[in-house]
Amino acid sequence: MRASLAAHLADFEARFGYPPDSNSIESAEGFGGAEWFDVAAALPAALPAALPGDLLLLYRHVSQLSLPDVGVGLFVHSLPQTVAGLRGDLPTRIVGAVEGSAVADPVVEDPVVVFGSDGGGALFALSRTDGATVYRLPPGRVEGSVYHCGAAAAEGAEALAASLQGFLAHVETRVERELLAELRPTGNHPRPSRRHPCG
């Protein structure tokens, strides 16, 4: 992914007429140090129970991912941001119909941990029930810590990937698509509106 991102940014300004924002895939260095334990101590429950194992594994290798110039923007939050979300800053449960659900009944009630976002205001959340399903939660109704998906699947949350690995593959595909699009002869286009919902 880093190679594709570097290629995407290499002549970004020359192609689009404006400089790229700061795009980075930050490696997790010093995992297990004092800062990690300070964050872990702030979790509302024991660390393994609060964060699914695959998410912990991700944070062993990547501290955060910030790609404001890929699509409308893609972000994987830092561990402190994810912990703050579990403490009530972000939704911790989704209720309602989910588009793309693998189960026969698309209506779910699932505890989640929000770990990412995009520049359009949507959140990426990992199921704490199966520790695998990644939901995309577009801007919608949140009451307390509950995200309400809506009565119809098309009105709210989407089951974006069956696993965290699938989500990361989705991100990598988005980067590669941006690069392929740039290799085609096109005119300059205006910069899309992007915002980081949590920062």
pLDDT, tens only, 108-132:
789 999 999 999 999 999 999 999 9
CA distances in angstroms from 154 to 5, 116, 146, 149, 157, listed in the order given: 32, 21, 18, 9, 8
Q: What is the pLDDT of residues 44-63, one digit of tens each?
A: 554 546 788 899 888 888 88
Token output for 193: 């509106």
Report pLDDT digits (tens) over 131-146: 999 999 999 889 999 9
Rounded Cα distance between 41 and 150, Å, is 35
pLDDT of residue 193: 46
At 58-80, the pLDDT tens digits run 888 888 888 888 888 899 998 88
Q: How far is CA 49 from the centre of its chain?
A: 20
Provide CB contacts within 8 A for 143, sequence distance 6+: none
Written in H, E and C, the secondary structure of 153-180 is: HHHCCEEEECCHHHHHHHHHHHHHHHHH
Cβ contacts of 133 within 8 Å, gap of 6 or more: 102, 110, 126, 127, 159, 161, 162, 163
Task: Give the lowest-confidence range in 25-29, 40-44, 84-88.
Answer: 40-44
- pTM here is 0.76
- What are the pLDDT digits (tens) for 157-196? 889 999 999 999 998 888 777 755 654 444 444 444 444 4
